[in-house]
Structure 1
Amino acid sequence: MTYTGAVRPGGPAATRDLDGLSITKISVGPMDNNAYVLRCHRTGDQLLVDAASDAPRLLGVIGAAGLSTVVTTHRHGDHWQALPEILRATGAVSFAHEADAAQIPEVDRELADGDTISCGRVALEVVHLRGHTPGSIALLYEDRAGTPHVFTGDSLFPGGVGKTAGRADFDLLFADVRAKLFDRLPDDTWIYPGHGRDTTLGAERPSLPEWFERGW
């Protein structure tokens, strides 16, 4: 089945196979959060992006292969409600950005912009995107056999950047998203957000002036 990224709470997961990595996307309630299980083809190691909620469903996707790492994209509670249970069940190591870590339970290692996280033989780059929260991050996978892939949490969605508290925070987020994603990566870069459907940088790039003008 062709991967589209269309998932819904209670519905089936969607899996995409890349050259060195598989990505399984699942939506969990009650806030329709996306969680992503990444699996290294060469080692079988798995990494979870956002233990949002519904630990039993997430553990069902993780399966018998277990879990090495959990990365929380930011401190908002809907992105880590299942984190303590997932860590207890799997023994995984918990990562989050240093600016948000104090408000996320059970963070083992703090991250900074430009750090690298390993999922088996696959490297993911930490991209710090200020504005939605002080420590929001994206994870960039530069697939040597294809296009880049970015897990953006609540910093970038189809139709705009994430919610901010005011114009100053919006300007921070817009500047970081533009400089660190749009100015750096090609149009076919695939975006996996924290809620809703996927998109690409090329689909969103023409709307950047509109986003800046409206301020959200």
Structure 2
Amino acid sequence: MLVLGFPTGSLQANCFLLATGKGGACVIVDPGQDAEEPIADALREHRLSPVAVLLTHGHFDHCFSVAPVCDGNDVAAYVHPADRDLLSDPLKGISAQSRAFFGGNLEMREPREVRPLSDGAVLDLAGLTLTVDHTPGHTGGSVMFRAGTEEGGRLVLSGDTLFAGSIGRTDLPGGDHREMLASLRTKVLTLPDDTVVLPGHGPTTTIGRERGSNPFLLELGDDSPAAPHRGL
């Protein structure tokens, strides 16, 4: 699998391109602020053709460029229905302080085609098989995308649900700390330790590393559903 990633915008949200290899189809995940040019450069360099744009959630730093990227390449955007309204009203998902920073004006629009994501859905795109996990907490429509096989090469694009050493904040509109803890117990800690984590911000990590050192996961304790799955 070919995985290309780079940070975008003032908040340095990670954008990823996934493909089976160079010279073929790809999916784009989280095209944030100022993502159009680096995406175009990566497509050209690796001779890739996008077939879809996937959004881990609706915050503007992850999807600010979704309309021009989708419409410019004639592909659909996939987002959980709970976050779809943020694509055209990004101020609904940010704090009052952030709204003031933008002068109460942050304009976005939906792409021409938007498709819904649901928990447990399996997406067959660009020769890849991606499983959707609904992980509310950071936003109501947060999701993760899992790829790979039991034989190895497993990865998860965790969005702002899980970071290296931390988790996404839950104090923004649409956030819910109790739901975040439930998502971490049932959707994150149940993953195999060798799963590579591609987070929405910051460096790559693994589930095993986070299970053993992430203070937010450690607080969940060994009574979580993760215990029987360790070492798989």
What TM-score bracket applies, with the shorter chain setting the length?
Answer: 0.7 to 0.9
Could you tell me which amino acid in structure 2 is paired with residue 38 of structure 1?
L
Cα drift, residue 53 of structure 1: 2.0
Match of 1:99 in 2: 82
Match of 1:88 in 2: 71
2:136 counterpart of 1:127: no
When normalised by structure 1's length, the TM-score is 0.81
Cα drift, residue 205 of structure 1: 0.8
2:91 counterpart of 1:108: no
Match of 1:178 in 2: 185
- 4+ aligned runs moved over 6 Å, structure 1: none
1:148 alignment partner, SS class: strand
Match of 1:59 in 2: 40
Cα drift, residue 143 of structure 1: 3.0
In structure 2, how many angstroms separate the alpha carbons of the residues matched to 1:123 and 1:149?
Answer: 12
RMSD of the TM alignment (CA)?
Answer: 2.1
Cα drift, residue 75 of structure 1: 1.1
In structure 2, how many angstroms separate the alpha carbons of the residues matched to 1:144 and 1:211?
Answer: 26
Deviations 1:174-210 (A, max 9, x none): 2112211212x21111100011101111111134233
Cα drift, residue 98 of structure 1: 1.2
Match of 2:155 in 1: 149
Report if aligned partners of 1:161, 1:174 keep a CA contact under 8 Å in 2: no
Could you tell me which amino acid in structure 1 is paired with residue 164 of structure 2?
P
Return closer, same or farther for 1:138/1:161 CA change in 2, 3 Å cut-off: same
Could you tell me which amino acid in structure 2 is paired with residue 121 of structure 1?
G
Query: Which runs of 5 or more structure 2 residues have no equivalent in the other structure?
Result: 88-109, 222-232
In structure 2, how many angstroms separate the alpha carbons of the residues matched to 1:186 and 1:65?
Answer: 30
Could you tell me which amino acid in structure 2 is paired with residue 179 of structure 1?
T
Report if aligned partners of 2:156, 2:198 keep a CA contact under 8 Å in 1: yes
Report if aligned partners of 2:9, 2:61 keep a CA contact under 8 Å in 1: no
**How many matched pairs?**
190
Report if aligned partners of 2:19, 2:127 keep a CA contact under 8 Å in 1: no
2:32 alignment partner, SS class: coil
Cα drift, residue 153 of structure 1: 0.6
Deviations 1:134-171 (A, max 9, x none): 000000002354142000111100112210028x8222
Match of 1:199 in 2: 205
Pick which of 152-161 and 103-112 moved more.
103-112
Match of 1:25 in 2: 5
When normalised by structure 2's length, the TM-score is 0.76
In structure 2, how many angstroms separate the alpha carbons of the residues matched to 1:164 and 1:58?
Answer: 29
In structure 1, how many angstroms separate the alpha carbons of the residues matched to 2:202 and 2:220?
Answer: 19
Cα drift, residue 42 of structure 1: 9.4
The structure whose Rg is larger is: 2
In structure 2, how many angstroms separate the alpha carbons of the residues matched to 1:198 and 1:174?
Answer: 21
Pick which of 196-205 and 54-63 moved more.
54-63
Could you tell me which amino acid in structure 2 is paired with residue 23 of structure 1?
V
Return closer, same or farther for 1:56/1:42 CA change in 2, 3 Å cut-off: closer
Cα drift, residue 88 of structure 1: 2.4
Match of 1:50 in 2: 30
